[in-house]
Amino acid sequence: MDKKAEIAHDTEYYRLLQELQEIDFVLVELTLYLDTHPNDAAALRQFNEFAMKKHQVRAEFERRYGPMLQFGNSFSAYPWQWWQPPWPWQV
């Protein structure tokens, strides 16, 4: 079975992607809120907690499945991994 087919059947792949999308949603909403309430310490703590969680989940995803972001935002193992589909935006 090729890598694309393996990932298509890997529920953890999709679970991690969904978790990242959920975290991104929270971060966008908190960003908008903090733009109008910059002194809300609780919201800022929550933003920082979710930002840390995003880095942790993304690191786990990349450890298992390869880089998510290009242009130096994600590291690549050897050999170069960007040629290996599926890329996160293809699923």
pLDDT digits (tens, 9 = 90+) for 19-42: 999 999 999 999 999 999 999 999
Is position 91 within any domain? no
Is position 35 within any domain? yes
pLDDT-derived band at 68 (thresholds 50, 70, 90) equals confident
Is position 89 within any domain? no
Is position 88 within any domain? no
- As a whole number of angstroms, the distance between CA 75 and CA 66 comes to 8
Which residue from 57, 30, 25, 23 is spatially nearest to 46, judged by alpha carbons?
30
Is position 87 within any domain? no
Is position 85 within any domain? no
Asked whether the predicted pLDDT for residue 2 surpasses 60, the reply is no
Q: Which domain holds residue 19?
A: 3-78
Entry pTM: 0.73
Is position 21 within any domain? yes
How many structural domains comprise the chain?
Answer: 1
Residue 38 host element (H or E): none
